[in-house]
């Protein structure tokens, strides 16, 4: 068989491989996955990893990811190793960006990858894929960011933007399997907590006087202000739910989300356990697993909760749940009617889901009704598993 580098024309349809490239002709021992974005994306991408692990037993999977998430990926077996990409440096001066890219490339090249899967689909990830230059390089066609005339096409295996004829974003991350001809066996993330982290979570519950499967986790944060339901509405919903169900609420979130949670704490009339900024991602996962239900904005913790199997009520704004609803557990996704009458004033950018404040239009009554409904739907399932 020819050992020359595979190539293809721009007109080749997505989901096809060059004839000279036989994906199954040699052992796949190491795979690099480029995903430098957010926690929710990494949770969804874990389903891709599981399929690859089933197809290639013993494969070494390395993620290029944001430094904050590296430990979480390796601890839960999503990655064998993780190379940290410091986005703060990548957004700095030209010198800082160049040094960060050089450091990353130097570290990645030592692995000698057999395959690269570019989930990030960015200018930087295209450059990295080309520079690392594994024999199999999977990318999306068409790309979200159209290549300029002078930019080389790094991929020699083209994946559809969304695979298997589906619309949810998880099928963007599963699409490379279709392009590679790998059997799709796992369609949803399933990430279970580590035993030491479960012990830590149970100790926190005991300290707070809470029992397993007998509390609600509430996450009022999100990456961008436009995706955050109003704190006063969270507080009102917590009071109503606690009074009706007897289930206390536990607030979770990162240290940068303290302001919204402090406002909730100042407004609620019922006792609430505030663990905002107090949990690692690993312990947060364990706590989510023990919850009766998760209520929160479209965010990484929402996808984490679903991946543990905990029922989820997700709150959406301009982002369409058809694309981003939680997968892996029973869930209800709420979104105000569209098109949206602007409620955010100068804060809003009507075409940018991260800057549009449509989620603010969700009423407390609708959210509480969704919690009631999902608690009722999952009650029988819970009784069977206890």
pLDDT at 343: 62
Least confident stretch, 3-7, 65-69, 283-287: 3-7
Is the per-residue pLDDT at 10 higher than 60?
A: no
Q: DSSP 3-state assignment of 291?
A: coil
Q: Would you call 142 helix, strand, or coil by DSSP? A: coil
> Which pLDDT score, from 0 to 100, does residue 353 have?
64
Residues 257/275, Cβ–Cβ less than 8 Å: no
pLDDT at 2 over 90: no
Q: How confident is the model at residue 55 (pLDDT cuts 50, 70, 90)?
A: very high
Q: What is the mean pLDDT of residues 297-304?
A: 96
Report CA torsion sign: 254, 308, 172, 323.
negative
From residue 148, alpha-carbon distances to 138, 141, 143 in Å are: 19, 14, 11
- The Cα 118–Cα 63 span in angstroms is 10
Q: What is the rounded distance in angstroms from the CA atom of residue 154 to the CA atom of residue 141?
A: 11
- Is the pLDDT reported for residue 100 higher than 60? yes
Neighbouring C-beta atoms of residue 221, cutoff 10 Å: 23
Beta strands in the chain (DSSP E): 30-34, 60-66, 81-85, 115-118, 136-140, 157-159, 216-219, 249-252, 272-274, 293-297, 312-315, 331-334
Mean pLDDT over residues 218-226, rounded?
87
Pairwise pLDDT comparison (310 vs 222), residue with the higher score: 310
Yes or no: say if 89 and 99 are a contact pair by the CB < 8 Å rule.
yes
Q: Is the pLDDT of residue 14 over 70?
A: no
**Orientation of helix 39-55 relative to helix 300-308, angle to 10°:** 40
Whether 281 contacts 191, CB under 8 Å: no
pTM passes above 0.75? yes
Token pair listed for 39? 């926690």
Task: Name the region of 36 (left: φ>0; alpha: ψ -120 to 50; beta: rest).
Answer: alpha
Inform me whether the pLDDT recorded for 290 exceeds 90: yes
Closest CA to 48 of 193, 192, 167, 163: 163
Q: How confident is the model at residue 334 (pLDDT cuts 50, 70, 90)?
A: very high
Q: Which two tokens stand for residue 44?
A: 């969804």
CATH numbers and ranges of domains, the chain: 23-180 (3.40.50.2000), 195-385 (3.40.50.2000)
Of 367, 365, 366, 347, nearest in space to 357 by CA: 347
Q: What is the DSSP string of 185-235?
A: ---S------HHHHHHHHHHHHHTT--TTS-EEEE---SSGGGPPPHHHHH
| Cβ neighbours, 10 Å, residue 176 | 27
Distance, CA of 311 to CA of 326 (rounded, Å)? 9
- List the structure tokens of 208: 């707070």
Contact (Cβ atoms closer than 8 angstroms) between residue 118 and residue 136: no
């Amino acid at each position: 068989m020819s050992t020359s580098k595979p190539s293809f024309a721009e007109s080749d349809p997505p989901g096809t491989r060059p004839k000279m490239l036989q994906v199954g002709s040699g052992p796949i021992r190491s795979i690099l996955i480029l995903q430098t974005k957010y926690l929710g994306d990494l949770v969804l991408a874990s389903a891709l990893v599981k399929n690859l692990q089933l197809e290639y037993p013993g494969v070494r999977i390395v993620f290029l990811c944001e430094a904050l998430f590296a430990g979480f990926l390796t601890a839960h077996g999503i990655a064998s190793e993780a190379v940290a990409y410091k986005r703060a440096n990548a957004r700095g001066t030209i010198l800082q960006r160049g040094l960060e890219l050089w450091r990353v490339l130097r570290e990645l090249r030592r692995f000698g990858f057999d395959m690269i899967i570019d989930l990030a689909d960015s200018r930087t990830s295209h450059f990295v894929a080309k520079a690392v230059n594994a024999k199999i390089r999977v990318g999306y066609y068409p790309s979200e960011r159209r290549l300029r005339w002078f930019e080389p096409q790094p991929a020699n295996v083209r994946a559809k933007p969304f695979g298997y004829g589906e619309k949810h974003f998880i099928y963007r991350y599963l699409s490379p399997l279709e392009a590679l001809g790998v059997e799709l066996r796992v369609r949803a993330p399933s990430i279970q907590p580590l035993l030491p982290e479960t012990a830590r979570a149970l100790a926190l519950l005991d300290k707070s006087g809470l029992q397993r499967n007998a509390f609600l986790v509430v996450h009022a944060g999100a990456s961008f202000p436009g995706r955050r339901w109003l704190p006063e509405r969270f507080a009102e919903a917590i009071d109503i739910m606690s009074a009706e169900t007897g289930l206390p609420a536990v607030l979770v979130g990162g240290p940068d989300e303290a302001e919204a949670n402090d406002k909730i704490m100042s407004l609620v009339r019922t006792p609430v356990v505030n663990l905002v900024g107090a949990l690692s991602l690993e312990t947060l996962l364990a706590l989510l697993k023990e919850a009766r239900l998760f209520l929160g904005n479209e965010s990484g913790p929402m996808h984490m909760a679903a991946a543990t199997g905990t029922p989820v009520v997700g709150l959406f704004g301009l982002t369409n749940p058809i694309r981003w609803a939680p997968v892996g557990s029973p869930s209800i996704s709420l979104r105000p009617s569209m098109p949206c009458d602007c409620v955010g004033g100068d804060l809003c950018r009507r075409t940018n889901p991260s800057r549009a404040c449509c989620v603010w239009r969700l009423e407390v009554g609708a959210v509480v009704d969704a919690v009631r409904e999902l608690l009722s739907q999952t009650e029988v399932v819970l009784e069977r598993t206890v």
